[in-house]
Homo-oligomer: A and B are copies of this chain.
Amino acid sequence: MTCPTELDIPDIADIHLAHARIRSKARVTPVINDPDLDEAVACHLYCKCENLQRTGAFKFRGACNAVARLAENGRGGDVATHSSGNHGAALALAARLDGRRAHVVMPEDSSPMKVEAVRRYGGQVHFCAPTNAARAAALEQLVREGMIPVHPYDDPAIIAGQGTAALELEQVVPSLEMVITPVGGGGLIAGTAIATGAWGVTVYGAEPAGAADTAASLERGEIVDDFHPRTIADGLRAIVGKRNFQVIRDRVKAVLTVSDDDIRASMVLAWRHLKLLIEPSSATVLAAIRNHPELFAGRKVGAIISGGNIHPAGWLELTRTAGGGD
């Protein structure tokens, strides 16, 4: 029998260091409270608008920190990852700002908008067949060619970087009772749970019912990895990472699941009250708050709005049944 290897998990000091590293590159995103939205969600809600982060998502924080740590450790050269979404664009920009190039393996059926985003930020796209095996093989090939892989979430530097959003939220609203973030691979929620550990804040996650692998994993006590996601929240289809799961299990109060219809309705809510188009992934947190007044009603809640990379036409299509076209 072999002992399980201990995972390297960042601590609060790592998050402060990450913040110092990325501060000149990442944007201090606004925190918005809207009294009318408060009424609609029945709590005092402070939205940390990472949809207004550079590259349109919190992912830029982790990518920036990961690249900066490589530089600190004297590791030059190009980086590589696989991503059909926000991590690819984030790594492309983070690499470019550090004088490197990012190589991003993307399935050949990726949306043209996402491919264009990676390229616009300076990344090199490598298409592969739309299977996990093809994706992994393509990334392995790049690594064999000497590129440094940067995992989208199961990486201590990524987790520490994502935790900086919660640090900034706490600087603006020091008296939050709870914080909620979406859960996909778990980088954002793990970073948030570590960042808020010292403040006595209760941390919740929100997951689409059609990609509730983390909720299922918590129930089973180990990662459920034979999961076939089916949700409009394309940013949350990943299976939770090992480090991420450990942090969630130990420090997150609960991962709440929401339906795709709840997500649609919350996208419309964000538009109506905040004038922000947010991705389905981001809307999970508003949906979870609305579904659970027994947890949130009347409380002072921070919500991390994770990203805004949705085209207005796509937003309209997704929200039409929820009144988004009205």
Known: A32-B27, A313-B316. A308 touches B275 (CB 8 A): yes
User: A325 in the interface, Cβ–Cβ < 8 Å?
Assistant: yes
Contacts of A104-122 to chain B: CB distance below 8 A: 113
Looking at A48-56, A163-171, A184-192, the stretch in contact with chain B turns out to be: A48-56
Cβ contacts A89-132/B at 8 Å (1 or 0 each): 00000000000000000000000010000000000000000000
Are A52's CB and B27's CB within 8 A? no
In angstroms, how far is the closest chain B Cβ from the Cβ of A129? 26
**How many A residues touch the partner, as a band?**
20 to 34
In angstroms, how far is the closest chain B Cβ from the Cβ of A323? 11
CB < 8 Å: which of B271, B309, B316, B324 contacts A275?
B309
What B residues does A219 contact at CB under 8 A? none
Are B277's CB and A277's CB within 8 A? yes
Q: Once bound together, how far apart are the Cα atoms of A277 and B324, in whole Å?
A: 15
Which of A113, A274, A277, A324 has the most chain B CB atoms inside 10 A of its CB?
A277
Known: A312-B316, A313-B325. A275 touches B30 (CB 8 A): no
In angstroms, how far is the closest chain B Cβ from the Cβ of A123? 14
Contacts of A288-313 to chain B: CB distance below 8 A: 308-309, 312-313
Q: Once bound together, how far apart are the Cα atoms of A54 and B276, in whole Å?
A: 12
Q: Once bound together, how far apart are the Cα atoms of A292 and B149, in whole Å?
A: 44
What are 9 sample pairs from A and B whose C-beta atoms fall under 8 A apart? Answer: A27-B34, A32-B52, A34-B54, A52-B274, A52-B276, A113-B326, A276-B276, A277-B312, A312-B315
